[in-house]
């Protein structure tokens, strides 16, 4: 386990996943019934943008760095930017909130967060950060295994974010699919947000067809590319599969992704896609 999210924090991939997360949370808050958020690969929670890792690999400058002062940002970016602003005290962008902090920002007092993180240092840092928040439980354990053990939750309502590091892409794709298929049997009405690096289009299409059983499971795929993706090149594109998406999400992402792709573009090969599977309504 060499992956450290601090090197990549706030990049285009984080923006796609956290924008989707913030919009789904906004939708979940519309009903009074409490919900649970399960973050299977949570990271350390908060990242200083002047920290050693973020300074050595400043991917965030071409990501959240381009959004911080974006006066004409589309309203669909509002929930994500509110979470980022809440993690920064002043006018200067100094820190980026990871998914557990983003989730807590979008949750109410009776909602609950289950955050799993396998790396001891990251899990320890997250536990210390969330120690005073009674809504949060941090587990130093395998997030895929936890999906099998902890779902369905007593709330029977919620979202599961699956965001593995893909140090071994085939391994994490396979483990995600296996855990997702099992979870869908036990907790089929939750919303699942599964983030994937987009390097090989056919790999993503095959995975999505398998997970949605050819359209039997409702899902929405959202892709964001800041340059032309190549199988062995650096990460310039990523894809979110949202299973059981809120009915509002397709239109929201359709409005958000075109200006976002233009804002984050590194070349004229930047692009986006929002596509519902056949079963989605």
164-193 residues in contact with ligand SAM (CB under 6 A) are 164-165
Task: Spell out, one character per residue from 31 to 60, where the chain touches ligand SAM: x when CB under 6 A holds, - when not.
Answer: ----------xxx-----------------
Residue count at the site for ligand SAM (CB under 6 A)?
21
Q: At what angle do helices 143-150 and 169-186 cross, to 10 degrees?
A: 10
- The rounded distance, in Å, linking the Cα atoms of 262 and 246 is 25
Q: Confirm or reject binding of residue 163 to ligand SAM (CB under 6 A).
A: yes
CA distances (Å), 133 to each of 29, 107, 108, 177, 221, in order?
A: 19, 12, 12, 31, 33
**Which residue, among 117, 5, 119, 121, has the nearest Cα to 59 in the 3D structure?**
5
- Tokens 């997360």 sit at which residue? 21
Q: Confirm or reject binding of residue 116 to ligand SAM (CB under 6 A).
A: yes
Output DSSP code: residue 163.
-
Burial class (CB in 10 A: 0-12, 13-18, 19+), 277: buried
Helix extents (H) in 99-168: 99-105, 120-129, 143-150
Task: Spell out, one character per residue from 135 to 154, where the chain touches ligand SAM: x when CB under 6 A holds, - when not.
Answer: -------xxx----------
CB of 268 to ligand SAM, least distance (A): 28
CA distances (Å), 105 to each of 99, 116, 205, in order?
A: 10, 18, 32
CB of 36 to ligand SAM, least distance (A): 16
Q: Which is nearer to ligand SAM, 5 or 199 (CB)?
A: 5
Catalytic residue status for 268: no
CB of 126 to ligand SAM, least distance (A): 9
- The rounded distance, in Å, linking the Cα atoms of 66 and 274 is 22
Query: Annotated catalytic residue: which of 14, 111, 163, 223?
Result: 163
Q: Which is nearer to ligand SAM, 161 or 280 (CB)?
A: 161
**Which residue, among 18, 122, 126, 4, has the nearest Cα to 63 in the 3D structure?**
18
Q: Confirm or reject binding of residue 119 to ligand SAM (CB under 6 A).
A: yes
Contact residue for ligand SAM among 26, 76, 111, 117 (CB under 6 A)? 117
CB of 144 to ligand SAM, least distance (A): 6
Q: Which is nearer to ligand SAM, 99 or 114 (CB)?
A: 99
Question: What residue ranges bind ligand SAM (CB under 6 A)?
Answer: 1, 3, 5, 14, 17, 41-43, 98-99, 116-119, 122, 142-144, 163-165
List the catalytic residues: 163
């Amino acid at each position: 386990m060499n992956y450290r999210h601090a090197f990549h924090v706030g990049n285009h991939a984080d923006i796609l996943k956290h924008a989707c997360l913030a919009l789904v949370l906004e939708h979940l808050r519309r009903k009074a019934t409490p919900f649970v958020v399960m973050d299977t690969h949570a990271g350390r929670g908060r990242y200083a943008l002047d920290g050693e890792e973020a300074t050595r690999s400043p991917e965030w400058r071409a990501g959240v760095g381009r959004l911080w002062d974006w006066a004409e940002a589309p309203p669909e970016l509002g929930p994500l930017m509110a979470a980022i602003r809440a993690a920064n005290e002043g006018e200067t962008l100094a820190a980026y909130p990871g998914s557990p902090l983003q989730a807590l920002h979008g949750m109410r007092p009776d909602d609950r967060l289950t955050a799993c993180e396998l790396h001891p240092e990251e899990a320890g840092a997250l536990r210390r950060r969330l120690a005073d928040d009674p809504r949060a439980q941090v587990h130093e354990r395998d997030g895929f295994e936890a999906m099998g053990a902890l779902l369905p939750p007593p709330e029977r309502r919620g979202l599961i974010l699956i965001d593995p590091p893909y140090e071994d892409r085939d391994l994490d794709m396979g483990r995600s699919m296996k855990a997702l298929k099992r979870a869908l049997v036990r907790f089929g009405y939750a919303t699942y947000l599964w983030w994937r690096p987009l390097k090989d289009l056919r790999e993503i299409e095959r995975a999505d067809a398998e997970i949605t059983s050819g359209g039997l499971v409702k899902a929405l795929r959202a892709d964001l590319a800041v340059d032309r993706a190549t199988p062995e090149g650096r990460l310039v594109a990523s894809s979110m599969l949202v299973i059981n998406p809120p009915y509002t999400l397709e239109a929201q992402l359709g409005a958000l992704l075109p200006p976002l792709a233009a804002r984050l573009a590194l070349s004229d090969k930047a692009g986006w896609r929002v596509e519902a599977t056949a079963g989605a309504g």
